[in-house]
Amino acid sequence: MSVLTEPGPPPGVGPAPVLTGKSRPGEAVIKVLLVVATTTSVLVTAGILLAVLEPALEFFRRESIGEFLSFDTNKQFSALPLVVGTGLTTVIALSVAIPIGLGAAMYLSEYASKRARKWLKPTVELLAGVPSVVYGFFAVFFVIPVVLRDWLGIPVSAYNSLGAGLVLGVMIIPTIASLSEDALSAVPLALRQGSFAMGANRMQTTLRVVFPAALSGIAAAVVLGMSRAVGETMIVLMAGGSIKSTSADITQGHETMTGVIARTALGESPVESTEYKYLFAVALLLFIITFVMNMISIAIVRRFRQAY
């Protein structure tokens, strides 16, 4: 075994090349700017917490937490009836968006050709692009008076949770459809081939093999859609009614968390009034609820990614 030993002096071919770094002050500045830009998104979260927390704490200095966390609709600053209102519209929205969104996702992932999907998926996503104020208008002037009252003969009041919830459901269809489609498409082809090889048809393969395999991704999509529904403002402001109510009657109006926030902001309450501070206390509750949902969704996606 012979080994090269002498690294030796550089053979004489002119001056040795310079390999030490050039100073690049411009690039150092750019890199700092990029880091600052990236940090902004973290600061936004901190800013949101600060902007909401400070007035919310002022509210709790003036009013008791007991009053805030009460179901009593007669108390001016109770918040739980709002949670009931938001919960009702959200459940109605999900009962529309889950089956429809999932159906669309299954078609796109399991049936549509690649070419068709390229155009159909963005078309479904268009629904997410319609402004919520337009959906609110549609709920108030079409869905409630025409669809619910005239066509279906349901005796609904002018503003009600059913109408608001149904339209809200339409709005979150693309969220659920798009993310579920991602989850379904991520299921390995081998699983489908295995199922087809057993003689299963496309429907059986979709429902019994692909759907269960993608379940966690679909769950994440549903949770995210739910979080969207909880946080949506204009539809429930316009169509959901403005009366605090804990009744389960969806043909009546229920004030919601976002509804009370927007209505108070649009009103004449002075910035220092307790009514105005109440808005931030409700917003804090809203932020916590959506934050928990988002984290659940993120955690499900993480776990689901590890599966393959």
Partner 1 sequence: MSNVAARTASSVTAVNLSTGKSKDKNLGSIVFLGALWFSLFFGIVVLVALIVDTAIDGAPRFDKYLFTNFTQTFDPTQAERLAASGRDPKVLSAEYSGFKSGIIGSIILMLTTAVMAIPLGVASAVYLEEFASKTSRFSRIVEINLQNLAAVPAVIYGMLSVGLMAALGAQRGIAIGGAVALALLILPVVIITTREALRSVPSEIRQGSLALGATVWQTTWRQVLPAAVPGISTGTILGLSRAIGEAAPLVMLGFGAINFAPAFPFIGSKIEAFPLEIYDASSNSQEIIRESASAGIIVLLVMILAMNAIAIIIRNKFQKSW
Partner 2 sequence: MASHPATFSTGQSPAAAVDALNVADDAQTIGALPDDVVMETVNLNVFYGDFHAVHDVNLSFGKNEITAMIGPSGCGKSTVLRCLNRMNDLVPSARVEGSINYHGQNIYAPKVDPIAVREHIGMVFQKPNPFPKSIYDNIAYGPRVIGMKVDNMDDVVEEALRGAALWDEVKDKLKQSAYGLSGGQQQRLCIARTIATKPDVILMDEPCSALDPIATSKVEDLMLQMRKDYTIIVVTHNMQQAARVSDRTAFFTARPDETTGNRTGLLVEFDRTKDIFANPHDPRTEAYISGRFG
183-201 as b/e: b if 16+ CB within 10 A: bbbebeeeebeebeeeebe
**Residue 234 near partner 1 by CB under 8 A:** yes
Nearer to partner 1 by C-beta: 156 or 301?
A: 301
**Inter-helix orientation angle 80-106/161-185, to 10°:** 40
Would you give the end-to-end CA distance of the chain in angstroms?
A: 47
Q: Which does 1 bind (CB under 5 to 8 A by kind): partner 1, partner 2, none?
A: partner 2
**Residue 26 near partner 2 by CB under 8 A:** no
**Residue 2 near partner 2 by CB under 8 A:** yes
Task: Candidates 58, 262, 269, 274: give the one binding partner 1 (CB under 8 A).
Answer: 262
The two structure tokens encoding residue 119: 């155009």
Residue 150 CB partners (closer than 8 Å, separation 6+): none
**Residue 132 near partner 1 by CB under 8 A:** yes
Task: Candidates 130, 152, 158, 248: give the one binding partner 1 (CB under 8 A).
Answer: 130
Q: Which does 16 bind (CB under 5 to 8 A by kind): partner 2, partner 1, none?
A: partner 2
Task: Candidates 65, 134, 215, 248: give the one binding partner 1 (CB under 8 A).
Answer: 134
Residue 140 CB partners (closer than 8 Å, separation 6+): 158, 159, 163, 238, 239
Rounded to an integer, what distance in angstroms lies between the CA atom of residue 224 and that of residue 97?
12
Task: Candidates 13, 14, 114, 119: give the one binding partner 1 (CB under 8 A).
Answer: 119
Stretch touching partner 1 by CB under 8 A, among 11-19, 63-71, 75-83, 288-296: 288-296
* Residues binding partner 2 (CB under 8 A): 1-4, 7-11, 13, 16-22
